[in-house]
Amino acid sequence: MTDKAFPYSEKVMDHFMNPRNMGEIDDANAIGDVGNPACGDMMRLYLKIEEDKIVDAKFKTFGCGAAIATSSMLTELLKGISLEEARAISNKAVAEALDGLPPVKIHCSVMAEEALAAALKDYEARSGGNGSN
């Protein structure tokens, strides 16, 4: 039996300690700002979208280890894919990419999914008004 030192998978710990794409995008054209009703945590997702493609993604998160790791993983998954592909990303996919989360922490990945949905909606609202940009 190996001695387990942390409550999460190694991947979660890695993304928690070295979060990818942490920060803000000044000229983001899609922002998803969501709170987690289950625990009061918060995630803010910034996307830069060009011609239906996500060219950059960043985040800021106030939350537990799982929340930070899922935020980080989500931005990794989003970078470089089309909007259509992005719409297909579920919280399960993010959790799986992290080698799983403890059951009580699934809602943290739901927050990531909701942040993505909110950002995509924001994008539609912004581009809907004055045609394509």
Partner 1 sequence: MGDDRKIYFDHQASTPVDPRVFEAMIPYFQERFGNPSSHIHTEGVRANQALDAARGQVAELVNSETDEIIFTSCATESNNLGLRGFLKANPDKGRHIIISEIEHYSILNQALKLKDEGYEVSTLKVAEGGLIDPEAVENAIREDTALISVNLANSEIGTIQPIKEIAEIAEKHGVFFHADGAIAVGNIPIDVKELGIDALTISAHNFYGPKGIGALYLRGGNNISPIFEGGFQEYGMRSGTENVPGIVGLGVAAELASIEMPKRIEHLQKLGKMLWKGLEEEIEYINFTGHPIQRLPGHISFWIRYIEGESLLLMLNIKGVMAASGSACSSNLKGADEEDLAASHVLTAIGVPAEFCSGSLTVSMGKDNTEEEVRYLLDIMPEVVEKLLMMSPLYADKLRGKDPYSK
What distances in angstroms separate CA 70 from CA 6, 20, 30, one per listed residue? Answer: 17, 10, 19
Minimum gap (Å) between residue 51 Cβ and ligand FES: 33
Q: Which of 28, 49, 57, 67 binds ligand FES (CB under 6 A)?
A: 67
CB 116 within 8 A of CB 57: no
Q: Which is nearer to ligand FES, 64 or 81 (CB)?
A: 64
Residue 7 burial by Cβ neighbours in a 10 Å radius (0-12, 13-18, 19+): exposed
CA distance 91 to 11: 16
40 in contact with partner 1 (CB under 8 A): yes
108 is catalytic: yes
Question: Which partner in ligand FES, partner 1, none is near 55 (CB below 5 to 8 A by kind)?
Answer: none
Angle at which helix 10-17 crosses helix 65-78, to 10 degrees, equals: 80
x-marked contacts with ligand FES along 73-112 as a string, rule CB under 6 A: --------------------------------x--x--x-
64 is catalytic: no
Binding site for ligand FES (CB under 6 A): 36, 39, 41, 63-64, 66-67, 105, 108, 111
